[in-house]
A and B are shown apart, each in its own frame.
Chain A
Amino acid sequence: MKKGLVLGLIFSLVLIMAACGGTPTSSPPESNNGSDSEAPSETPSTEDSQEAKVVNIGYSGPLSGPAAFYGKRTLSGTEMAVEEINNSGGFEVNGQTYTINLVSLDDKYLPNETGANAKRLVQEHQTPVIFTPHSGGVFAMQVFNEQDNFLIMAYTSEPKITESGNSLTVRIPPRYDGYMEPFSSYVMERFGNKLAALPTATQYGKDWTETLLPYWEEKGGEVVYESSIDFTKDTDFFTIITNALNENPDVLFIGGPSEPTAKVAKQARELGFEGGFIIMDQAKLDEMKRVTGTYKTFEGAVGVMPLIHADYPGTDAFVEKYEAKYGEKPGSEAGLNYIATYILVEAMKAAGTVDDPEAIRAHMQDGLDNLPEDKQVYVIPSIGEDGGFEADLSVAAVENGEIVSIKVE
């Protein structure tokens, strides 16, 4: 009887894990006849070329479950760009006007779901391009994207996705290994060389740790404690922080989603920690501040420059528009996906096609060059051979309760 009960319990747990199916949410573009392209179409197959055609763009990311907030922030950047483009009458490629239909599918942060979604997007919606905001999903799609002929717009700073030599992958944010030098030298100089590592227990957190720790030791530092925090399982972080602080570190390496990361920093302060923090690029200082209400908690923290404190040509206008639409300040997830969408559209124009991923990828540099200045939420001068956008790193630290910019060579 009891055995049956336990078995039933396990069965039901499996059910919980496997439950809930993704529903596609696709927003049809506003129909617009306001386009002024009267030029005859060069594609003979269509009869009325004045009508705007629709190009489907795919998105697969976590829209439900524990990472839903992250998926929504990345989606909202693309969504906003698409809406702006459609509202201004679409864009013109070879005399033909196109509007964009963004088809977004939920993958719950699971790489296998991303793979399935990508198949569905390509087969059902003929999307030439798919955006995805996590490295696991990118790896899953890279298995077949060259055969199935679609371009991956990857929002992840994982260097491996471009090192694999996939010819149809574009990495949007800067690769994270560039942060090792500026992050390490700042805190090492200011606080000392004993580091305790408490990052998030995800694959991304592990990869980051494996890059940072050897670098730290190479620079003459010492790693006194190494573990990880599983934000999906741990209610309280006091236990692990107590153990880490018992080794008297000068610096804590923390990271993961901004809000729980902020809680880790706050609890470390409560336990009497006075040193600095290295903050993994997934967490953003301005979002962390929303949890504690002040930057003072993070005194001596070094991390990526929050978008709202950056001063690129298009940043202020974007922050304002985004806040009006979504009621919160944007982070780099929204900002980078926003300009990536614009860059993609410019690349399509330069390539003269909306459905040939290879040509679009080949004209990505033109896309970067043609990006209007008022859309430059970030400045990205070039794309590398490997498909990664090459931008200057913008690093920030908290000094005397304020965000200051740190120069990176």
Chain B
Amino acid sequence: MEVLGQQLFNGLTIGSIYSLVALGLTLVYGILHIPNFAHGALYMMGGYITFTMMTVVGVHYWLAIFVSVVVVGLLGVLMERIVFHPLRDAPPIHDKIAAIGVLLFLEALAQWIWGADYQSLPTPYGQVVNLFGLTVTLQRVLIVVAAVLAMILLNLFLKKTFTGASIIAMSQNREGAHLVGINTNKVAMLTFMISGGLAAIAASLSAPINLVFPGMGHLVILKAFVIIILGGMGSIPGAILGGYILGFSESLGATYLSNDYKDIIAFVLLVIILTVKPTGLFARGGH
């Protein structure tokens, strides 16, 4: 029983990270109509910028995260302007190739700036706390709370504000949105900004429990692809739910089935869900 509780919490922690990364990916899918392969690299840049702000500049963790969100958000905008905007009328394969190019470029850039070594991101919340008989660190509680908070804010923004509604409108129909007077350029940039920001939040929250290194994006990006396929391409509730499904299936699968096969369990789950609902849990258009 104690193990079950502990593993549920572990699943919640890792699921929160997955959800945040998948959210950014799914939002940009609405604009690009391809999964943005460079999203993992944005995640990695987020980790590095928080790391640099904390160790070199010496600011507080929260301020460092804020800077990281802004910088990576702008990096996302830059990426949209320089790479994806000129390709908006090209066939989708061009976007894919461009995204892979950006991924390789950013990884090489990070290795050039910060070196190939593992870096350890310090956290002011390293204390071990006992939560209802579970052993957790404050950082992990923080991951869960901050992720949920970010998701609620994002949802409010998309549902309750005009700008948010225009993002959804554009993801549903780009030309239609253009016709009713939405500035699609502005919305595309904004979406990339939010997507980059979410990646930076996810990386900054998770880096203290792991490490910061040029390949850290690979840890989450493949799983984020699985999540958005599972949840339905472009669907926001799908990304959130899919993230938690994957998180729980990993932690519970590792406990009650086999740790060595926990990835297989996650992928079998994907196959089953896609067999029953080929478009994913939430079909597109039903935001």
Closest to B219 in A: A235
CB neighbors of A among B90-144 (8 A): 92-93, 96-97, 99-100, 103-104, 108, 111, 115-118, 120, 128, 135, 137, 140
Residue B187, interface by CB 8 Å? no
Q: Known contacts being A236-B209, A242-B3, A242-B10, is A19 close to B259, with CB within 8 Å?
A: no
Residue A37, interface by CB 8 Å? no
Closest to A67 in B: B116
A291 in contact with B37 (CB, 8 Å): no
Residues of A within 8 A of B214 (CB): 68
CB neighbors of A among B21-78 (8 A): 34-35, 37
A243 in contact with B3 (CB, 8 Å): yes
Q: Known contacts being A5-B233, A233-B219, A234-B219, is A64 close to B251, with CB within 8 Å?
A: no
Residues of A within 8 A of B118 (CB): 69, 257-260, 291
Residues of B within 8 A of A239 (CB): 7, 10-11, 14, 250-251, 254-255, 259
Q: What is the size, in residues, of chain A's interface with B at 8 Å between Cβ atoms?
A: 42
Least CB distance from A25 to B in Å reads: 13
Least CB distance from B224 to A in Å reads: 11
Residue A34, interface by CB 8 Å? no
Closest to B2 in A: A246
Overall SS of chain B's interface: helix
In Å, the complex CA distance between A388 and B269 comes to 48
Number of A-B contacts (CB under 8 A): 118
CB neighbors of A among B235-287 (8 A): 250-251, 254-255, 259-260, 263, 278-279
Residue B220, interface by CB 8 Å? yes
B215 in contact with A291 (CB, 8 Å): no
Residue B194, interface by CB 8 Å? no
A19 in contact with B225 (CB, 8 Å): no
B residues apposed to A, CB below 8 Å? 3, 6-7, 10-11, 13-14, 17, 34-35, 37, 92-93, 96-97, 99-100, 103-104, 108, 111, 115-118, 120, 128, 135, 137, 140, 206, 209-211, 213-215, 218-220, 222, 225, 229, 233, 250-251, 254-255, 259-260, 263, 278-279
Q: Known contacts being A242-B7, A260-B118, A291-B120, is A236 close to B211, with CB within 8 Å?
A: no
Among A127-135, A264-272, A394-402, the stretch that binds chain B is A264-272
Least CB distance from A192 to B in Å reads: 22
A220-252: contact bitstring with B at CB < 8 Å (1 yes, 0 no)? 000000011000111110111011001000000
Q: Known contacts being A236-B210, A239-B254, is A270 close to B219, with CB within 8 Å?
A: no
Residues of B within 8 A of A240 (CB): 254, 259
26 contacts between A and B (CB under 8 A): A2-B278, A2-B279, A8-B92, A8-B93, A8-B96, A12-B96, A13-B222, A16-B103, A64-B111, A68-B214, A72-B115, A232-B215, A233-B263, A234-B219, A236-B10, A236-B206, A239-B259, A240-B254, A243-B7, A243-B254, A243-B259, A259-B211, A260-B210, A260-B211, A263-B209, A291-B118
Closest to B252 in A: A239
In Å, the complex CA distance between A232 and B37 comes to 17
B10 in contact with A64 (CB, 8 Å): no
A6 in contact with B229 (CB, 8 Å): yes
B17 in contact with A16 (CB, 8 Å): no
A227 in contact with B260 (CB, 8 Å): yes
Least CB distance from A264 to B in Å reads: 10
In Å, the complex CA distance between A13 and B221 comes to 11
Residues of B within 8 A of A234 (CB): 219
B13 in contact with A238 (CB, 8 Å): yes
Least CB distance from B179 to A in Å reads: 23
In Å, the complex CA distance between A259 and B115 comes to 15
B213 in contact with A228 (CB, 8 Å): no
Residues of A within 8 A of B263 (CB): 233
A277-320: contact bitstring with B at CB < 8 Å (1 yes, 0 no)? 00000000000001100000000000000000000000000000
A12 in contact with B37 (CB, 8 Å): yes
Residue A9, interface by CB 8 Å? yes
Closest to A4 in B: B92
A66 in contact with B218 (CB, 8 Å): yes
Residue A324, interface by CB 8 Å? no
Q: Known contacts being A236-B14, A270-B128, is A263 close to B211, with CB within 8 Å?
A: yes
A20 in contact with B104 (CB, 8 Å): yes
A69 in contact with B116 (CB, 8 Å): yes
Closest to A65 in B: B215
Q: 4 closest Cβ contacts across the A-B interface? A: A68-B116, A259-B118, A69-B116, A66-B215
Closest to B103 in A: A16
Least CB distance from B144 to A in Å reads: 12
Closest to B254 in A: A239
B111 in contact with A16 (CB, 8 Å): no
In Å, the complex CA distance between A65 and B116 comes to 8
B219 in contact with A232 (CB, 8 Å): yes
Q: A239-B11, A242-B3, A263-B210 are in contact. List 18 more A-B contacts (CB 8 A).
A: A8-B96, A9-B229, A16-B100, A19-B104, A20-B104, A71-B116, A233-B263, A235-B17, A235-B219, A236-B10, A236-B206, A238-B10, A238-B13, A238-B209, A242-B255, A259-B118, A291-B118, A291-B120
Closest to A16 in B: B100
A7-24: contact bitstring with B at CB < 8 Å (1 yes, 0 no)? 011001101100110000
A66 in contact with B210 (CB, 8 Å): no
Residues of A within 8 A of B17 (CB): 235-236
Least CB distance from B11 to A in Å reads: 8
CB neighbors of B among A54-106 (8 A): 64-66, 68-69, 71-72
